[in-house]
């Protein structure tokens, strides 16, 4: 990414429904955000109005993530590290898309990780997918330049309660095949990442990180290039078309709408003749593994699938 521009997100992000949630007017840099005690905060559907107003004082970086998202776990620590090094010149707002569906919908997060900045309430695209630290630093520098051009040059007065900038703990090295897969994801070569994770699983079928990574990268590969509106129109026109329903379910899951994805596939499974059901069951099982067996949404969907099977 060599340049960031608000125009790139024009029409792609709708924050209008969140603007009314602010409980206070925009403040000057010297008095901003008395309740903010760290440069990294968890944003929710309810609290986002205040964070949106803070973007008139400092750039706000919004990191949309989910617990099941492997690439998110690689990118988020890098973004947090770079944010802390800037000493209050940038606020990082972390959004769990599963817990905050209104924000996920407002940002139209068709896949995650998705990182968007806000300058004076206006969205600016940063990243979609995992990127290396060098690129993160380059784009943060561009973000500060763009903020300055728009008069957003404040610093958050974090006070005594602020967390001091610290060196990020050293991460243990990734297994070679995991590292190979992640490098392929960074390069946008999802096919190569799939091969690497499959090799890792051939060596150790119980490698949970490889299982989760494989499911995630397969999902990314499937949704790459899909248009949500076109996919929904095709699915609505052909309710029993398995590939069309799969496409919308994948987009829903990638955007954090887990229950919608499961419900669509379960409805499809129920409506199909018995001899056409196996691919739908296989896709459901794959997505269950991606979200996690202990997740309440998976438990509910698995129970319904069992009732349809027997």
Closest of 48, 33, 57, 49 to residue 120, by C-alpha: 57
Q: Active site includes 241? A: no
Neighbours of 256 (CB within 10 A): 29
**CA dihedral of 256, 257, 258, 262, whole degrees rounded to 10:** -150
Which of 58, 66, 72, 268 is catalytic? The answer is 72
Provide Rg for the chain, Cα atoms. 21
In contact, 297 and 67? CB cutoff 8 Å: no
Which of 40, 41, 69, 214 is catalytic? The answer is 69
Host H or E run for residue 65: strand 60-65
Q: State the residue for tokens 């944003």.
A: 43
Q: Active site includes 69? A: yes
For the chain, counts of helices (H) and of strands (E): 13, 5
Query: What does DSSP assign to residue 198?
Result: H
Q: Which residues are catalytic?
A: 69, 72
């Amino acid at each position: 990414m060599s340049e960031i521009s608000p125009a790139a997100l024009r029409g792609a992000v709708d924050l209008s429904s969140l603007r009314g949630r602010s409980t206070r007017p925009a403040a000057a840099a010297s008095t901003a955000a008395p309740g903010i005690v760290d440069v990294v905060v968890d944003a929710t559907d309810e609290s986002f109005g205040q964070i949106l107003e803070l973007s008139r004082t400092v750039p706000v970086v919004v990191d949309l993530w989910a617990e099941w998202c492997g690439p998110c776990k690689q990118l988020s620590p890098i973004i947090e590290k770079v944010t802390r090094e800037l000493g209050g010149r940038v606020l990082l707002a972390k959004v769990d898309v599963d817990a905050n569906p209104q924000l996920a919908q407002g940002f139209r997060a068709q896949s995650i990780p998705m990182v968007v900045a806000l300058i004076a309430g206006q969205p600016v695209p940063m990243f979609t997918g995992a990127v290396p630290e060098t690129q993160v630093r380059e784009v943060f520098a561009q973000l500060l330049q763009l903020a300055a051009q728009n008069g957003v040059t404040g610093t958050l007065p974090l006070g005594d309660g602020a967390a001091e900038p610290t060196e990020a703990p050293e991460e243990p090295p990734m297994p070679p095949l995991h590292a190979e897969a992640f490098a392929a994801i960074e390069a946008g070569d999802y096919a190569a990442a799939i091969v690497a994770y499959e090799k890792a699983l051939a060596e150790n079928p119980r490698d949970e990180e490889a299982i989760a990574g494989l499911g995630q990268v397969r999902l990314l590969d499937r949704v790459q290039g899909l248009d949500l509106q076109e996919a929904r129109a095709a699915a609505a026109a052909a309710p029993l078309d398995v590939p069309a329903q799969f496409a919308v379910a994948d987009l829903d899951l990638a955007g954090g709408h887990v229950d919608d994805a499961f419900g669509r596939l379960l409805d499809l499974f129920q409506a199909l003749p018995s001899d056409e059901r196996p691919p739908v069951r296989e896709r459901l099982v794959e997505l269950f593994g991606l979200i996690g067996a202990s997740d309440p949404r998976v438990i509910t969907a698995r129970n319904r699938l069992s009732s349809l099977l027997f």
